[in-house]
Amino acid sequence: MEEEKNLGVVVSGSLNKGLEVKLDAATSVEDISVGSYVTIEGGKRRFFGMITDISLEATDNQIIHSPPDISNPLIAEVIAGTATYGKLHILPTLTIGGGATEILEGPQPVKSLPGHFSPVRRASPRDIELVFGKEDEKQFWVGTPLDMETKICLNLAEFVKRSNGVFGKSGTGKTFLTRLLLIGILQKRQAVSLVFDMHNEYGWEGGSEKGYKVKGLKQLFPSQVAIFSLDEEGSKRRRVSTDFIVRIGYDEIEPEDIQLLCQTLNLTDASVQAAYQLAHEFGDRQWLETTLSIKDKEETKELLSRLNIHESTYRNLRRGLEMLRRLPFLVPKSPDNPVQRILEYLDRGINVILEFGRYEDFTAYILVANLLTRRIHAQYRERKERALGEDTTPPRPLVITIEEAHRFLNPQLSNQTIFGIIAREMRKYNVTLLTVDQRPSGIDAEVMSQLGTKITCLLDNEQDIDSVLSGASGKSELKTVLSRLETKQQALVFGHAVPMPVPIKVREYGTDYRQFGQVDLSAVVSEAQQSQEAEDLWAD
């Protein structure tokens, strides 16, 4: 294989602050980009790192004050790399090869430094493969390094073990990235997914900013994905074949749900307390229906005085509840149990995508996502505990995808919502979150710190960047990389599922689906279905 040429030599540095590398005269500083990978050939082992900064240096400050005449090509050529030179800042992250541990266990976190004047090369595709692994049943190809055509893989087995986050400004490709991750989870069969699809982008088809439509999961993997919808008519209009129409009964709504909605419904604290009182009075399953059915003024008055609720508080609560009542998917009595149906699908290894149709407002999203997740989590918890007690197989790992995560996980609510609990307790009960958000600074710091793997597209708000990178080693270096990402199709991945922080060019999605078609479906799908699916994919 072709050996990559030397970029320069290590001249100084520290483990904490990274290495300084003097660029060889033959390498133009313009050919170097932040975020590229390099290997450093130490005396005993090889080090793997990332370029995090580039600077221009001069041996003598005199040259800065009286620059040489570079219109003379000879002078320009002589000065470059000698009196003036480029310097790279490299964050060493791993050691590869060399020691016995590295040979046995692969790349290890860096604990020493290469010596002075160790040569630095661009990482070869083989090095990248050695570090990030090959695509296999656990490793999912998510993208390529920024300046190479090698595959960078995410260890999905590790990925689904913890809650994860996808962040990025609006329009940076969060949805495409998330869709890709969901396909990965589905293909590698490391977990089943439940997606709360606020904008109907994951299930049937999504749109790109360029205006073309891209296929959703159901179109690619019809036998492994079920679409649940809150909005039957909307789904019909969009010609989406839905598997189940979700209706939620009043009896399913508990005062905790109202508490979560206090911001979106504009409820006061007193009104939330009143909801609890009413639930206590009428019972958890009947309170909403009963409260909404009270019309008589006298009756109301009597109830309020009995429960010692102020009238304005009641009016505030009642107005909020009326807003809920106007949601068409809320019915006094649900014909079916959506939680049970979702669990049935998940148990069969089928991923569920819940489309919100036209109910794109936060009231519906927060209410439904929270309500369903709470019950599903309770079921998982029970099953997991039973599995521990009886030594049977635990339930299949579940990844719940939520958008606009800061609405659920902000510091005020994260202690109350089920999502906060899931994010904190990690995979104890085999349920983890995939949070998608554009405003990570709005998410509780405690929750952020528990996220295993973070994948972040471009962010330009200082607070958001700080929040995403909090706790990451080499934070200031990563900050440079993060703020230099392009607005589209580039992301920084760091955390549990990758051996080192890695900026990637996200894999293409939406033009050629065949690459996603080579999947082993034999575990759940019959051969006939398989060939049908393959045909569908190849037909495009």
Partner 1 sequence: MDLTVEATKIGEVIEASTGKFTAQCYQLNQAPPLGSLVKVGSMPSEIFAVVYNIENHSLELGRRPIARGESEETEEGIFRANPQLSKLLCTDFNALVLGHRQADDIAHWLPPKPAYIHNFVYTCSSDEVRDFTQSLHFLSLLVAANLPTPVEEITAACLRYSSQAHDDPHAFLVKAGKELATLLSGDLKRLNSILKKL
Residues whose CB is less than 8 angstroms from the CB of residue 23 and which lie 6 or more positions away in sequence, other chains included: 7, 8, 29, 32, 81, 85, 86, 87, 88
Question: What is the spatial distance between Cα 56 and Cα 23, in angstroms, rounded to a whole number?
Answer: 10
| Selected binder of partner 1 within 15, 56, 75, 388 (CB under 8 A) | 75
Q: Does the footprint of partner 1 cover residue 29 (CB under 8 A)?
A: no
Q: Does 62 bind partner 1 (CB under 8 A)?
A: yes
Residue 48 host element (H or E): strand 46-58
Question: Is the CB of 75 or the CB of 388 nearer to partner 1?
Answer: 75
Give the one residue of 33, 55, 82, 526 binding partner 1; rule: CB under 8 A.
Answer: 82
Residues 150 and 488: their CA atoms lie apart, in Å, by: 19
Which one of 12-20, 74-82, 225-233, 466-474 is the stretch in contact with partner 1 (CB under 8 A)?
Answer: 74-82
Closer residue to partner 1, CB minimum distance, 11 or 292? 11
Residue 12 or 59 having the CB closest to partner 1: 59
Q: How far is the CB of 118 from partner 1 (least distance, A)?
A: 20
* Residue of the chain from 31, 33, 55, 63 that contacts partner 1 (CB under 8 A): 63
Strands (E), 105-235: 108-109, 119-122, 139-145, 152-155, 164-167, 192-197, 205-207, 213-215, 225-229
Report in angstroms how near the CB of residue 12 gets to partner 1 at its nearest.
17
Q: How far apart are CA 126 and CA 91, in angstroms?
A: 20
**Segment interacting with partner 1 (CB under 8 A) among 55-63, 121-129, 454-462, 476-484:** 55-63
CA atoms of 224 and 187, how far apart (whole Å): 9
CB 83, min distance to partner 1, A: 5
Minimum distance between the CB of residue 21 and partner 1, rounded to whole angstroms? 18
Q: Which is nearer to partner 1, 26 or 524 (CB)?
A: 26
Q: Are 351 and 182 spatial neighbours (Cβ–Cβ below 8 Å)?
A: yes
Q: Is the CB of 77 or the CB of 382 nearer to partner 1?
A: 77
Q: Single out the residue of 14, 41, 17 nearest to residue 95, CA to CA.
A: 41
The identity of residue 391, as a single letter, is D
Contact 294, 303 (CB under 8 A): yes
Question: What angle separates helix 362-390 from helix 338-347, to the nearest 10 degrees?
Answer: 50
Nearest approach, Cβ of 76 to partner 1 (angstroms)? Answer: 10
Report the residue from 9, 11, 29, 78 that binds partner 1 according to the rule CB under 8 A.
78
> From the CB of 25, what's the least distance to partner 1, in Å?
6
Query: DSSP readout, 164-194?
Result: EEEE--TTSSHHHHHHHHHHHHHHHTS-EEE
Backbone angles phi, psi at 120, to 5 degrees: -115, 130
Q: Which is nearer to partner 1, 75 or 103 (CB)?
A: 75
User: Is residue 60 at the binding interface for partner 1, with CB under 8 A as the rule?
Assistant: yes
Can residue 68 be called a binding residue for partner 1 (CB under 8 A)? yes
Q: Rule CB under 8 A: which residues touch partner 1?
A: 25, 59-60, 62-63, 66, 68-69, 72, 74-75, 77-79, 81-83
